[in-house]
Structure 1
Amino acid sequence: MEQKPDVALREATPDDVPALLGLVRDLAVYEKAPNAVEMTEALLSAALFGETPLARAVLAEAQGKSLGFAIWFTSFSTWTGRAGLYLEDLFVAPHARGRGVGRALLRHLAREAIRLGCARLEWSVLDWNAPAITFYQSLGAEPLDEWTRYRLHGEALGRLAQEN
């Protein structure tokens, strides 16, 4: 796995679930939604390490302390006929920003996308998160302004599922 002088990246293991969940909660605080995290250690463990894993996670560490993470999964494009790599969340702890941790995590994912034959690497960013947007654009990422993301959840999801 990739290393910088004081930062190491590695695939998460089941033992990392508590640290990952802590980082997810830190991300929720940063994104101004501290009470939005419903995930538990059991749910995260099942998603990453269960019988049919739904996602993968990479941790960035220095001196045994977690600095950040990326959680991703594969998607599929009917236009390219190939998989894509979708970055669900990327977070670098505030004290670790500016050290190349985010760049290292994205470089790792870009390499993984190429290794898997993916046509693209995609993610979403909150429109108010100017530091992240500036960072992503510095890497050559382009916003997809013509697309609007939709979400069906909660009662609306249940209603649709119950229709005849």
Structure 2
Amino acid sequence: MGEFRVDIRPIAMTDKDQWRKLWTGYLEFYESSVADEVYETTFERILGDHVQGEVSFYEPRGLLALVDGRPVGLVHYFYHRHCWRQEHVCYLQDLYAAPEARGTGVGRALIEAVYAAADRDGCPNVYWMTQEFNATARTLYDRIATLTPFIKYSR
């Protein structure tokens, strides 16, 4: 597929149904799911005070990617403190392009929008994780970021 014009904008209250559909696609890709309460809480957090222009750290933020006015991708990210830096860092937590939009530049546009927001808000480091099997996305990530040697452990 070729590249299309991708518009990126913050998630708004009126996007709830489209956002939920995209986030469900993301969760299903990773063979996961969340309770309805988590959808509600996450959406409320995304629409927190920082949407009104406040630089609020720790709460998630969300952006939608649109092609021809139709939401086809999303990203969730948040800022947090880091023991090795004075500045906050940015964790890009969820990144998803609908299957029909893959290979069109949606993923790159969303990551670059997070880079721009982090730069604007004084967070020079942006990082994320992906599953080892996510070869298609890793091809993009290898072009626009640096692979680190860290391995994630979880309880």
User: Please, what TM-score do these two structures have when normalized by structure 2?
Assistant: 0.83
Residue number in structure 2 paired with 1:10: 9
Residue number in structure 2 paired with 1:144: 148
Structure 2's unaligned 5+ residue stretches are: 51-55
Residues 10-159 of structure 1 mapped to structure 2, 5 A cutoff: 10-33=9-32, 36-40=33-37, 41-50=39-48, 54-139=59-144, 141-145=145-149, 147-152=150-155
CA-CA distance at 1:21 after TM superposition:
1.4
Please say if residues 23 and 91 of structure 1, whose CA atoms lie closer than 8 Å, have aligned partners that are also in contact. yes
Please say if residues 56 and 71 of structure 1, whose CA atoms lie closer than 8 Å, have aligned partners that are also in contact. yes
The letter for the 2-side match of 1:37 is V
CA-CA distance at 1:61 after TM superposition:
0.9
Structure 1's unaligned 5+ residue stretches are: 153-164
Q: Which has the higher contact order (CA 8 A, sep 6+)?
A: 2
> Structure 2 CA distance, aligned partners of 1:111 and 1:51?
19
CA-CA distance at 1:5 after TM superposition:
6.0
Distance 1:22 1:129, change over 3 A: same
CA-CA distance at 1:39 after TM superposition:
4.5
